[in-house]
Amino acid sequence: MSEAIMIKDAVCSFCGCLCDDINVEVEDGKIQRVRHACRLGSSKIMGHARIESPMIRKNGVLVAVSFQEAYDKAAKILLAAAKPLLYGWASTSCEAAKKGILLAEEVGGVLDSTATVCHGPSVIGIEEKGLPGATLGQVKNRADTIVFWGCNPAEAHPRHSLRYSSNSCGKFTQEGREGRKIIVVDVRETRTSKNADKFIRISPGSDYEVISALRMLVAGKGDSVLDEVGGVLKADLADIAATLKAAKFGAVFFGLGITHSRGRYKNIDNALSLVAELNSHSKFVIMPMRGHYNVGGIGQVLAWSSGYPMSVDFTRGGPYFNPGETSACDLLARRDVDAALIIAADAVSNFPRATAKALAGIPVIQIDPYENPTTLLSDVVIPCAIAGVEVEGTAYRMDGLALRLRKMVDSSFPSDEDILMGILESVHKQRQMTANEGA
């Protein structure tokens, strides 16, 4: 038995909070205990049953093969495709994303991230209005007013409130929760709303109207607001508007309740406008609650590599971006892609039924440590080491802050980067062979 090693201040690679105070006890090359992480993070770091071997579907059954065979088959699929989709990227490192972008350029594919079924509408809202934001520490040190809109951090980002938002303490917020006003807007009661000073329950799909009413009230045009908007009394909205205007420093956190309800990116556009306008009265910032730990990172890497943060089409040589046309679900719904590589995401569980069905009709390559519903329809399955636990790398927190993921234990599996490079090398090799045959 070897001595237990304590890894201190490691970064948790579960959600967009990227808590970086995790202590991990390792003995005999295995993680024995995880400290400071929430249950979600702890379960991620401890891990569970893995895909054991690369597999290729033969006669309808996944059969174990060598990694090289799997790379060659994956390369063959990508080369044969006129327009392959390379999708996922939210739960792996930026280093893997860089290799994925290179691969998408080489094979002429479309690269999209899980943002497309998540905060993609937020990105489009930001393209319309910009993002008045801050790092999470700025909120912790200064915010006396916090709004959670269509999100439920108490269950999705369990340590958010204590580390960064409602219950955190900082230089100008030493009273923590006591010194803050917390407003929650949602269509239902949640654990987050129970921690609120004011819970505004709106009718489903009325986010746009409610934000518009608040903008009018903030602008002093309350006369034109109806007595009830989205199921909320005008007097309550007027109260909220007054609280927002009186803040010393306010922050709005928003989630999928607003990005994927009626109005979608227009809701975000409206919320960004509200926050921009509030800055005439007080200091205000806004931030999307990013879900997967590095869904922010793929957006950053893709933006500096291609100019666009998601849904980038490399099939015409130069990058092309037109969400609605080049986004994963739309491509699949139109049956416009003829192969897919799914990495670090479970498309089948999260896509609309029609698009998941479209995936079943084309060759699919999956790169993932774990079996999930996407595995069931994959033709090539390549198991990988887990970024942030078994592989070092970079991830971007929900506020855009880059942190270095640690390697805690060794793995016998190749990293996502290694696998993508293996496929890329096979692409080069097969191209060369075809060229030689042609000559």
Partner 1 sequence: MIIKGGIVYDPANGIYGDEMDLFIDQGRMAMQAKGEEIDARGLLVMPGGVDAHSHIAGKKVNTGRIMRPDDARLGTEPRTAVCRPSTGYTVPNCYAMGYRYARMGYTTAFEAATPILEARHTHEELEEIPIIDKGALTLFGNNWQVMECVRDKDLTKLAAYVAWGLRAARGYGVKIVNPGGGEAWGFGGNVKSQNDIVPNFDVTPAEIIVGLAKANEMLNLPHSIHLHFNNLGKPGNYTTAIETLDLLKDIKPSRMRQVVHVAHMQFSAYGGTSWRDFESKASVIADYFNCHNHATMDMGQLLFGSATTMTADAPLEYGNARLTHNKWSNHDIELEESSGVVPMTYFRKMLVNAVQWAIGLELALLVKDPWKVLMTTDHPNGSPFVNYPEVITLLMSKPKRDAEMATLHEQVPKRTTLAGIERELDWTDIAIMTRAAPARVLGLDDKGHLGPGADGDVSIYNLRPLEVDTSLDHVLVKKALANAKYTIKGGVVVSKEGQILATPPGRTFWVDAAVPQVDTDRLMIDLEEKFAKYYSIQIANYAVQDAYLPHAKVIRAGLLIEPLPEVA
Q: Give the nearer residue to partner 1 in terms of CB position, either 121 or 299.
A: 299
Least Å from the CB of residue 150 to partner 1: 21
Least Å from the CB of residue 148 to partner 1: 18
What's the chain's Rg over C-alpha atoms?
23
Binding of partner 1 at residue 307 (CB under 8 A)?
A: yes
Evaluate whether 257 touches 149 at the Cβ level (below 8 Å).
yes
Q: Give the nearer residue to partner 1 in terms of CB position, either 67 or 320.
A: 320
Q: Which residues ranging from 17 to 46 are in contact with partner 1 (CB under 8 A)?
A: 20-21
Q: Which of 47, 132, 176, 231 binds partner 1 (CB under 8 A)?
A: 132
Q: Give the nearer residue to partner 1 in terms of CB position, either 89 or 351.
A: 89
Q: Which of 135, 195, 372, 430 binds partner 1 (CB under 8 A)?
A: 135
Least Å from the CB of residue 282 to partner 1: 6
Q: Give the nearer residue to partner 1 in terms of CB position, either 202 or 211.
A: 211
User: Please, what's the largest Cα pairwise distance for the chain?
Assistant: 79
Helix, strand, or coil (residue 184): strand
Helix, strand, or coil (residue 360): helix
Least Å from the CB of residue 238 to partner 1: 22
Q: Which of 171, 188, 436, 439 binds partner 1 (CB under 8 A)?
A: 171
Least Å from the CB of residue 170 to partner 1: 6
Q: Which of 100, 263, 309, 369 binds partner 1 (CB under 8 A)?
A: 309
- In sign, the C-alpha dihedral spanning 151, 152, 158, 160 is positive
Binding of partner 1 at residue 179 (CB under 8 A)?
A: no
Q: Which of 238, 303, 333, 421 binds partner 1 (CB under 8 A)?
A: 303
Q: Which residues ranging from 358 to 397 are in contact with partner 1 (CB under 8 A)?
A: 392, 394, 396
Least Å from the CB of residue 292 to partner 1: 18
Q: How many CB atoms lie within 10 A of CB 50?
A: 16
Q: Which of 29, 82, 130, 189 binds partner 1 (CB under 8 A)?
A: 130
Q: Which stretch binds partner 1 (CB under 8 A): 43-51, 121-129, 334-342, 372-380?
A: 121-129
CA triplet 385, 95, 11: central angle to 5 degrees?
Answer: 65
Dist. CA 297–CA 309, nearest whole Å: 9
Q: Which stretch binds partner 1 (CB under 8 A): 150-158, 167-175, 372-380, 381-389?
A: 167-175
Phi (first) and psi of residue 339, to 5 degrees: -165, 160
Instruction: Report residue 395 as tokens.
Output: 């991830």
Instruction: Report residue 206 as tokens.
Output: 């009325």
Site string for partner 1, 236-255 (x = CB under 8 A): ------------xx------
Binding of partner 1 at residue 415 (CB under 8 A)?
A: no
Instruction: Report residue 233 as tokens.
Output: 């009394």
Binding of partner 1 at residue 220 (CB under 8 A)?
A: no
Q: Which residues ranging from 58 to 117 are in contact with partner 1 (CB under 8 A)?
A: 94, 98, 105
Q: Residues near 96 by Cβ (< 8 Å), separated by ≥ 6?
A: 89, 343, 344, 387, 393, 415, 416, 417, 420
Instruction: Report residue 373 as tokens.
Output: 């519903």
Q: Which of 25, 27, 69, 127 binds partner 1 (CB under 8 A)?
A: 127
Q: Residues near 53 by Cβ (< 8 Å), separated by ≥ 6?
A: 64, 65, 383
Q: Give the nearer residue to partner 1 in terms of CB position, either 328 or 380.
A: 328
Dist. CA 350–CA 408, nearest whole Å: 29
Site string for partner 1, 137-166 (x = CB under 8 A): xx-xxx--------------------xx--
**What are the residue ranges of helices labelled H in 293-415?**
295-306, 328-333, 347-350, 353-360, 373-376
Binding of partner 1 at residue 5 (CB under 8 A)?
A: no
Evaluate whether 207 touches 222 at the Cβ level (below 8 Å).
no
Q: Give the nearer residue to partner 1 in terms of CB position, either 396 or 413.
A: 396
Q: Which residue has the tokens 């800055």?
A: 279
Q: Which of 403, 409, 419, 427 binds partner 1 (CB under 8 A)?
A: 403
SS (H, E, C) 62-84: EEECCHHHHHHHHHHHHHHCCCE
Binding residues for partner 1, how many (CB under 8 A)?
64
The CA distances from residue 178 to 136, 200, 234, in Å, are: 19, 20, 27
Evaluate whether 393 touches 96 at the Cβ level (below 8 Å).
yes
Element (H, E) at 57: strand 55-58
Please give the residue ranges that form the binding site for partner 1 (CB under 8 A): 8-9, 11, 20-21, 94, 98, 105, 123, 126-138, 140-142, 163-164, 169-172, 248-249, 276, 279-280, 282-283, 285, 299-301, 303-309, 314, 316-321, 392, 394, 396, 400-404
